[in-house]
Amino acid sequence: MWDYTEKVREHFLNPRNVGDIPDADAVGEVGSLACGDALKLYIKLDDAKERIVDAKFQTFGCASAIASSSALTEIIKGKTLDEALATTNQEIADFLGGLPEEKMHCSVMGQEALEVAIAKYRGGPVPTHHDHGHEEVEPGEIVCKCFGLTDTFLKKVIAANKLTTAEQVTHFTKAGGACGGCIPKIKELISEVLGAQPTEERKKPEKLTNLRKMQLIQETLEKEIRPLLWADGGDLELVDISGSEVQIAFRKACAGCASSGNTAKFVELKLRDLVADDIVVQEVEG
């Protein structure tokens, strides 16, 4: 059973703003029966056509999809269109006290519906999401054919939510969740987005105390090495440090991987490069 917060349960059991607005100013629709979830969002504006005075929804989907839709309508009521457009999927999740990572795509669906509704109202290009088929297509190359998701959309979600693994991208967008054929491409997009962020070049310190050496080893493993392993579904755990000997245990996909010896070598080289030349990495069972 999912570990839903009390607020998710409450918004699922007693969703706010269910229904339609017959004379809505804007309607945004995303998702489909095939996808397993869909949201139709109705927005009514004030007389000045600037501020949202009412929002209603219809949702086909699981408990968190319904709760996310309910939360979205509560968040955007009273906001101007520009304020509403700035709503992120994380805000929807936060409003609900959090969502299981596997269900984050429900919050993204809410954000998507809002974008579509406002884009249609303003007459600009309408972003395309999932396989719901809008007339105007967001520029970009389709990466996930199963769910019809473009590289532009995926890069946006990766950057906004600071996603580092293909699995996380699947949880947030569904991309890669069906046939899995696009997972290598998703990994490339993650590297592209992460690579685009400015990173400070780290230099190996000239002299280290024992304590500082241990701290630096831990820091390098956490910041430089583990994120790279996560991207391939793997992980490692630091077991012990004795002088220059670093004992690690591989976890997840790295555990029992045929090439874990190469990975251990890579960890050693990286630590030698960033911490000290004499480091020896040893793989242990732990």
Partner 1 sequence: MKEIYMDNNATTKVDEAVFEEMRPYFCDLYGNPSSMHFFGGQVQKKVDEARNRVANLLGASPEEIVFTACGTESDNAAIRSAIEVHPERRHIITTRVEHPAVLTLCRNLSKRGYRVTELNVDGEGRLDLNELRAAVDEDTAIVSVMWANNETGVVFPIEEVGKIVKEKGKGAFFHTDAVQAVGKIPINMAASTVDMLSISGHKLHAPKGIGVLYVRKGVPFRPFMVGGHQEHNRRAGTENTAAIIALGKACELAGQWMEDENTRVKAMRDRLQTTLLELIPRSRINGGQAERLPNTLSIAFEFVEGEAILMLLSEKGICASSGSACTSGSLEPSHVLRAMGVPFTCAHGSIRFSLSRFNTDEDIETIIRELPPVVRRLREMSPFGREFLNA
Q: Which residues are annotated as a binding site for [2Fe-2S] cluster?
A: 144, 146, 179, 182
Closest distance to partner 1 from the beta carbon of 28 (Å): 12
Rounded to 10°, the helix 63-76/104-122 angle is: 40
Residue 234 is encoded by which pair of tokens? 């793997």
Name the amino acid, one letter, at 65. A
CA 121 – CA 80 distance, rounded (Å): 13
Closest listed residue to residue 168, CA positions, set 93, 221, 232: 232
Q: Which residue has the tokens 């969740």?
A: 177
Closest distance to partner 1 from the beta carbon of 35 (Å): 8
254 annotated active-site: no
257 annotated active-site: no
Confirm or reject binding of residue 250 to partner 1 (CB under 8 A). Answer: no
Is the Cβ of residue 95 or residue 147 nearer to partner 1 in the bound state?
Answer: 147
Tell me if 82 sits within 8 A of 49, measured CB to CB.
Answer: no
Confirm or reject binding of residue 40 to partner 1 (CB under 8 A). Answer: yes
Among 54, 60, 131, 273, binds partner 1 (CB under 8 A): 60
Residue 173 is encoded by which pair of tokens? 């967008």
Among 177, 225, 263, 271, binds partner 1 (CB under 8 A): 177
Confirm or reject binding of residue 33 to partner 1 (CB under 8 A). Answer: yes
Total chain residues near partner 1 (CB under 8 A): 30
Name the amino acid, one letter, at 133. G
CA 271 – CA 286 distance, rounded (Å): 20
39, 76, 93, 106: the active-site residue: 106
The contact set with partner 1 (CB under 8 A) reads 12-13, 15, 18, 20, 29, 33-34, 36-40, 58-66, 100, 102-103, 147, 170, 174, 177-178
